[in-house]
Amino acid sequence: GCDGPQGATAPPLQRVPQSGARAARRDAVADDKASYDNVMAIFARSCLGCHGANKQEGSLRLDLPSAMKRGGDSGPIIDKNNPAGSEILRRITSVDDDRMPPDAEKLAPAEIALITDWIKSGLPGLPENDGISTKDNRLQHWAWNAITTPEFPAAINPSAEIAENNILNPIDSFVAKRLASTNLSPSPLAPLPERIRRLSFDLRGIPPSIEELERLTEIPDQQQAYQTAVDQFLADPSYGQRWARHWLDIAHYADTHGFERDQRRANAWRYRDYVIDSFNTDRPYNNFLEQQIAGDILNPTNQQAVIATGFLAAGPYDFVGQEETRNDTLRRAARADDLDDMVTQVMTSTCAITIHCARCHDHKLDPITQDEYYSMWAVFAALKRGDRPVFPSALEQHETQKRQIHEEIASLQARLAGVQGGGLNLADVVGGGNGFGTGKSGLGIDPLTGKTIEQRRGFLEGIALNEFRTSSVNGIDGVVIPNGKTVGANNQIAISSTGVRIAVPETSGQCWDAIRNGPVNSQHSTVLGGVDYATNHSLLGLHANVIITFDLNELRQTSQKTFSIFRASVGYFGETKSKGATIEVFVDGQSRKQLPSIGRADGIQPLEITLTDKDRFLTLAATDAGNGISHDQVCFVNPTLVIKEQPSQDIASQKKRELEIADIQALIHNKEQELKQLADPERFYGV
């Protein structure tokens, strides 16, 4: 109490009797809680074993209000707009197999009535929240808390002389305090030459030169001499080279893919140099991280920021699983591993935590849920690894210029062929060209479909043997993968759209990659007999077992030329020395040339087959000689349909023709030089 105005003592506080309305509300709350508690008691006895804290079948949990409101995999279990039609009431009253709980544990009629009344009454007594702390204890770890600046140890005098306390840096004061607490004394300061030598090893990974050591130790003030050494070694390019290695290890950087069929990354070094430069220029750490994760988005005009994203591609790459396999399941698994690598690399390097566990479930130790893991997965889901230009606009400009020059060269070559009676190149046709240089190197024909393909592949799956596939590529009638073992009398199969048939030998029925304008995937070599036929020659590359048929009529029509000869050189470019593959050339189903069981030791073989205007189909076949297709890489070198020569002319006309040929050849040479001098845009290995 307290004194009143006249010093009187105030009466003691009295409890005011509650009104009838307040008492009614109090009783109603109590009734609601009792109703909720009764329902939860039923759930505890019959439901929480499968839908509680330890187990949530169908993702349904009934012990937490928020989870109960949310429902499970099949949706909400309580319908707010139509409580009587709620799914949970249907399940507990069902007479079908979907009754919950199952028959052996079914609820009593009184229990069903209690739950039904509670739901129809609007869930009285159900708490607004779960009543548990939402603070994740895993977030109490020091790594997730804000950075603080500790106070300088009061027991240490920061102005004390260096020789006395060895305090060169604020960190040293903490060491000194700990030593003092255990009655230990610091070791004496090492002589200056030793400290400089240690410093050089720490910062550069190499000892100081004799000249450096002499120059630094001649400085009278030892503290100034040491500081000069620090500045000098930090400015040395070797500093970045030494310390970049630690980050490159974290980024698991390498110059090759790793995995099976390891392949070199010719432009990976640009990211390596970016990291070295970041140390040497003291790039701010936040900027260093931002550029590596999203530099091409944040600053697409900054060359270093774009190259920095090589960080995301630095890890191992399953080339076989992602690019060579024909199995969709294996490809998806390899892609999942690839995305997991990107996510874990970012989180491990920047937060120093594990995250792999969340790929299958919420992390048990680190504060990462499975939802968060796959949300991060989605961030990188559009990314693929590979060589890419630093600036895409530069690549577009370069490709446009290159295409224009190629078109000009092709036009000149076509003109030259017309003047000198040259030939039409079948490798160029396979590359989607007109036979006079417009085809794309590396492009090919898929033996499975007859369609154009650029992707490099390994063993083909889903092969339909002896089924001729027509091709939409101009001048190519179609393709077939042969095996004489699976056909009837005479081992004959169709090799043209008109049904022309030939006899084929028994083969393994396997096939590799595609028929290409150039070497096939994983070509053993392009050198034969000491000559590299990838230089200054055209190659029509194929791998046994495959047959390709050209439509001569279509080529005559589109080129407006007639042909007198098919001329080429052919050889086995695989590793097998002998009995590697059988090569055969047909004209309208008639064998014109056969090279049975040749190998690498047989060298290059010339081909020259006469053609008439009536001949329709030219067929090239390579089969595996009965010993499988390993290394059975066959190349037709400079495969040419020679254009029929023009009638003889008088001397003046002949002279004019020779001059015209020389002029065109000079123009072609100039264009080829222009193409060589066209600088390729800078590329780096990234995403």
Half-sphere exposure of 385 (CA within 13 A, CB side): 25
Residue 17 has what pLDDT?
47
Amino acid 589: pLDDT: 95
Q: Whole-angstrom Cα distance, residue 409 to residue 495?
A: 34
Element containing residue 609 per DSSP (H, E) = strand 605-610
Q: Which range among 61-75, 397-411, 472-486 has the greatest average pLDDT? A: 472-486
Q: Which amino acid is at 383?
A: L
Label residues 83-95 b or e (16+ Cβ within 10 Å = b).
Answer: beebbbbeebeee
- pLDDT of the residue at 543: 94
- Please tell me which residue, 477 or 417, carries the higher pLDDT value: 477
| Half-sphere CA count of 365, side-chain side, radius 13 A | 5
Instruction: Please give the span between the terminal C-alpha atoms of the chain, in angstroms, as a whole number.
Output: 78
Confidence of residue 283 (pLDDT cuts 50, 70, 90): very high
Distance in angstroms (rounded) separating the CA atoms of residues 584 and 569:
13
What lies within 8 Å, CB to CB, of 227 at 6+ separation is none
For residue 366, what pLDDT is reported? 84
Quickly count: other Cβ atoms within 10 Å of residue 82's Cβ: 8
For residue 134, what pLDDT is reported?
Answer: 53
**Residue 330 in this model has a pLDDT that exceeds 60:** yes
The pLDDT value given to residue 163: 42
Identify the pLDDT of residue 162. Answer: 42
pLDDT score, position 258: 87
Residue closest to 413 by CA, chosen among 431, 438, 440: 438
| Cα–Cα distance, 213 to 207 (Å, whole number) | 9
Under the banding of pLDDT at 50, 70 and 90, the label for residue 595 is very high
In 3D space, the residue among 460, 461, 459, 499 whose CA is nearest the CA of residue 478 turns out to be 499
Structure tokens at 589: 């189903």
What is the bridge-based pairing of β-strands 469-470 and 476-480?
antiparallel
Reference 528, options 600, 615, 478; nearest CA is 600
Place of tokens 């290695």: 245
> Which strand (E) or helix (H) includes residue 649?
none
Q: What is the mean pLDDT of residues 464-491?
A: 89
Band of pLDDT at residue 293, cut at 50, 70 and 90: very high
pLDDT value of residue 20 = 60
Please give the model's pTM, rounded to 2 decimal places: 0.50
Q: Which residue has the higher pLDDT, 634 or 175?
A: 634
User: Is pLDDT above 70 for 7?
Assistant: no
Compute the mean pLDDT over every residue in the chain, rounded to the nearest whole number. 86
CB 36 within 8 A of CB 119: no
| Res 563: pLDDT | 92
> What pLDDT, in 10s, does the model give residues 541-574?
999 999 999 999 999 999 988 998 898 889 999 9
**Number of C-beta neighbours around residue 251 at 10 A:** 22
pLDDT of residue 501: 94
pLDDT digits (tens, 9 = 90+) for 171-211: 888 888 888 889 888 888 899 999 999 999 999 999 999 99
Residue in 462, 519, 424 with CA at minimum distance from that of residue 326: 462
Is residue 538 a contact partner of residue 484, using CB atoms and an 8 Å limit? no
Q: Does 510 score more than 90 pLDDT?
A: yes
Token look-up 């297709």 returns 629
Which DSSP category does 484 fall into? Answer: G
Query: What's the pLDDT band for 526 if we cut at 50, 70, 90?
Result: very high
pLDDT of 421 over the 60 cut? no
N residues, the chain: 687
Torsion angle of C-alpha atoms 596, 599, 600, 603, degrees rounded to 10: -20
Whether the Cβ atoms of residue 483 and residue 466 lie closer than 8 Å to each other: yes
Cβ proximity of 502 and 495 under 8 Å: yes
Which residues face 532 on adjacent strands?
527
Per-residue pLDDT reduced to its tens digit, 26-40: 666 677 888 889 999
Q: Say which amino acid occupies 564.
A: S
pLDDT tens-digit series, residues 135-167: 567 777 777 777 888 887 765 554 444 445 556
The structure tokens listed for 157 are 């005098």
Mean pLDDT is lowest, of 65-74, 128-137, 179-188, 517-526, for 128-137
> Which amino acid is residue 177, in one-letter code?
K
